[in-house]
A = this chain, B = another copy of it.
Amino acid sequence: MTPETTRPLDALNRAKGKRVIVELKNKKSFVGKLQAFDIHINVVLEEAEEIVDGEVKRKLGVVFIRGDTIIIISPEQK
């Protein structure tokens, strides 16, 4: 069972420090550890990798992603 959520940002809060996938409007995806986010859904990933067609295209270290370019954020599944 998922713990009770009342607001969408609670779900992001629970994902902090975990690896997430972030998909952007320009069809790019980034995978990394969710370090920070704010109400605009600006996010910072660390140990970030850009993914193209399921392959790691490049490693970016820390990356700030502007919220208005984001479609979805989803914790990586084990």
> Pick the contact of A8 from B7, B42, B59 — CB < 8 Å?
B42
User: Digit string of A43-74 for contact with B (CB within 8 Å is 1, else 0)?
Assistant: 11010100000000001111111111111111
By a CB distance below 8 angstroms, the chain B residues around A15 are 62
Task: Determine if A12 is an interface residue (Cβ-Cβ < 8 Å).
Answer: yes
Residues of B within 8 A of A67 (CB): 66
Q: Which of B5, B59, B61, B74 contacts A61 (CB 8 A)?
A: B74
Q: For A26, what are the chain B residues with a Cβ–Cβ distance below 8 Å?
A: 25, 71
Q: How far is the CB of A4 from chain B (nearest CB, A)?
A: 9
CB <8 Å contact, A60 and B44: no
> Of B44, B70, B77, which is within 8 A of A5 by CB?
B44
